[in-house]
Homo-oligomer: A and B are copies of this chain.
Amino acid sequence: MSVTAAPGWLASGVRAGTKPSGELDLALVWSSHPAVVAGAFTTSRVPSAHVQLCKPRVSSGLARGVLVSAGIANAFTGPLGLEDAYRVCDAAAKATDTPAEEMLTCATGTIGPRLPVDDLMPAIDAAAKALSVDGGDDASHAIMTTDTRPKTSVRTIDIGGRFITVGGTAKGAGMIAPNMDPAFAGPSDGPQGTLLVFLTTDAAADAATLRHAIATSVPKTFNAISVDGCMSTSDTVLLFANGASGVDVQGSDAFVGAVHDVLADLAYQVVADGEGATRVIRIIVNGAADEADAREAAREIASSALLKSAVWGNDANLGRIVQALGQADCKLDPDRLAVSMAGIELSRGGLETGRRDEAAAKLAAGGEALIEVDLGLGAGTFQFLTCDLTPDYVKFNADYTT
Residues of A within 8 A of B (CB): 42, 44-47, 73, 75-79, 110-113, 174-175, 177, 192, 228-233, 303-306, 309-310, 312-313, 315, 317-320, 322-328, 330, 332, 334-335, 337, 347, 349-352, 389-399, 401-402
Contacts and interface: CB of A to CB of B under 8 A. Distances in A.
Nearest to A402: B319
A231 B325 CA distance: 10
B326 A46 contact: yes
Given A232-B323, A303-B229, A327-B44, A309 B402 contact: no
Given A111-B323, A322-B75, A394-B394, A305 B399 contact: no
A402 B320 contact: yes
B319 A401 contact: yes
A401 to B, nearest CB: 7
25 contacts: A42-B326, A44-B323, A44-B326, A46-B323, A46-B337, A76-B337, A76-B350, A78-B335, A78-B349, A174-B306, A175-B323, A192-B326, A192-B327, A230-B306, A231-B323, A233-B326, A305-B389, A305-B397, A306-B397, A310-B402, A313-B399, A315-B398, A315-B399, A320-B402, A390-B394
B175 A317 contact: no
A354 to B, nearest CB: 9
Given A111-B318, A231-B323, A332-B46, A398 B309 contact: yes
Given A76-B351, A78-B335, 7 more contacts: A45-B326, A46-B332, A47-B326, A112-B319, A175-B306, A233-B326, A305-B389
A306 B402 contact: yes
Contacts of A46: 322-323, 325-326, 332, 334, 337
A83 to B, nearest CB: 13
Contacts of A323: 44, 46, 111, 175, 230-233, 402
